[in-house]
């Protein structure tokens, strides 16, 4: 789980910084579309802040991988990655808004979903001596 959390941290920190700094470019790479409205740019930056925050949480938890908190964070990242696969796939197939990075990002999130599942299925946490 330690390597998963470190890898997740690097991925989400990068995506978060990209959306915070240049949300229009990030959206263009994913959806081949521009963010024209100021509200859309603000929402893109808010998504960037959320991803950056997830990255920070994963980075800080990487050294405490056997804890319940790290397991909870991994479960949350499983939910996020699964949702990302669904939302981005629907955008690519249903709305047909495909940028050069869309399908690679879908594949990355699918792989991260499988990795999260594998880490969570490795068994229960070791029992702590503290209640």
Please report which confidence band the pLDDT of residue 87 belongs to, taking 50, 70 and 90 as the band edges: very high
Does the predicted model carry a pTM greater than 0.95? no
Does residue 102 lie within any of the structural domains?
yes
Q: What is the mean pLDDT of the chain?
A: 91
Does residue 129 lie within any of the structural domains?
no
Does residue 77 lie within any of the structural domains?
yes
What residue numbers bound the domain in which 80 lies? 2-121
Count structural domains, the chain. 1
Encode pLDDT of 46-60 as tens digits.
999 999 999 999 999
Q: Which two tokens stand for residue 11?
A: 């991925």
> Residue 89 and residue 84: Cα distance in Å, rounded?
8
Q: Region 74-92: what's the mean pLDDT?
A: 96
Q: Is the pLDDT of residue 97 over 70?
A: yes
Whose structure tokens read 């991260």? Answer: 112
How far CA 118 is from CA of 55, 60, 71, 112, in Å, comes to: 20, 21, 12, 10
Please tell me which residue, 129 or 40, carries the higher pLDDT value. Answer: 40
Does residue 21 lie within any of the structural domains?
yes
């Amino acid at each position: 789980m330690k390597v998963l959390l470190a890898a997740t941290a690097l991925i989400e920190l990068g995506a978060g910084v990209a959306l915070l700094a240049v949300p229009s470019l990030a959206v263009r790479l994913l959806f081949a579309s521009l963010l024209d409205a100021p509200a859309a740019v603000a929402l893109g930056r808010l998504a960037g802040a959320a991803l950056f925050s997830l990255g920070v949480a994963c980075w800080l938890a990487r050294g405490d991988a056997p804890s319940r908190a790290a397991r909870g964070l991994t479960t949350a990242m499983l939910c996020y990655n699964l949702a990302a696969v669904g939302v981005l796939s629907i955008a690519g197939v249903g709305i047909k808004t495909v940028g050069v990075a869309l399908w690679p990002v879908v594949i990355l999130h699918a792989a991260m979903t499988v990795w999260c599942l594998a880490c969570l299925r490795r068994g229960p946490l070791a029992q702590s001596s503290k209640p």
